[in-house]
Amino acid sequence: MISVVNVWHHYGIKPVLRDVSLSVEPGELVAVMGPNGMGKSTLLGLMAGVLWPIKGYVEIDGHRRRNSIEEEIEIRKKIVYLPDNPYLPLYNTGREFLLAVGRLYEVEEERLMEHAEQLLKLFDLQENADSPIRSYSAGQKKKIGMCSALVTEAPILILDEPFSGGLDSSALLALSQILKRLADRRDVTVVMAVPVPELVESVAHKIAIIVKGKILAYDTADGLRKTASCTGDLAKVLEALIHPEVFKNIESYLEGRVS
């Protein structure tokens, strides 16, 4: 379980997160959504432990982040964080990278080899598995980054914009289904920042909407529809919640326009 409790964060003068509280149950897949620059990545960074909240705290399975050496070690073993653009060893092969990350998370060697192979196959990287990462396309780099998070077999995944960065349709499908199935099996808890709503509804159990550093809404897709008093696809619901004046503005623009 991930608990974010009354968290405030600043990089400079302006607060990026303001009194954010959020709770993610084990086995839930939560999508954090919102316009750019509203604090999605900051919230994920705080959960992942790369940032330190100015106020409030984050708890993972009852252990407060950076509270004590023992608790932090416990947390770090359970959680994997994949930022939008992780470091990739360009001169090593994809397979070498996956094995190195797996070893870091103490995945048993034989299972690690097998898991890496499965992931390379799943993301259509088998042909390039033994080529240096520098020869990969942008989409393939994104895929190998995703594989590195999955190969750890960590029970908590914090993913920053996993669906962006040039993933092809098969990879999008594979990734969304893998995350969904793992979460449905209660094997993993996933928190991911997603700027676009298209893929979210079919995957996420809950959606958190962040606007100007505050949680505007945190509910299931249907719950959000009720809150927004809006039916239709999630994009419309989000617009109604984030920019309630958008539809009115569109209508007034079209009404006033001479055809």
List of residues contacting other proteins (CB under 8 A): 9-13, 45, 48-54, 66-69, 72-73, 76-77, 79-83, 85-92, 96-97, 99-101, 103-104, 109, 148
Among residues 63 and 236, whose Cβ is nearest to other proteins?
63
State the minimum distance, in angstroms, from the CB of residue 123 to other proteins: 18
Please, is 252 exposed, middle or buried when counting C-beta atoms within 10 Å of its C-beta (0-12, 13-18, 19+)? exposed
> Which is closer to other proteins, CB of 92 or CB of 131?
92
Minimum separation from the CB atom of position 64 to other proteins (A): 10
Query: How many CB atoms sit inside 10 A of residue 14's CB?
Result: 7
Scan for tokens 């349709």, then name that residue.
Answer: 169
Q: Which residues contact 58 (CB under 8 A, 6 or more apart)?
A: 2, 3, 4, 5, 7, 46, 47, 49, 64, 65
Residue 19 CB, shortest distance to other proteins, in Å, is: 14
Bridge-based pairing state of the strands 79-82 and 2-10: unpaired
User: Which CB atom, from 53 or from 197, has the smaller least distance to other proteins?
Assistant: 53
Q: Please, which residue, 64 or 180, has the CB nearer to other proteins?
A: 64
Nearer to other proteins, 102 or 197 (CB): 102
> Smallest distance, Å, CB 101 to other proteins?
6
Letter for the amino acid at 189?
Answer: T
**What minimum distance in Å lies between the beta carbon of 198 and other proteins?**
27
Contacts of 195 (CB under 8 A, 6+ apart): 33, 34, 35, 36, 40, 161, 164
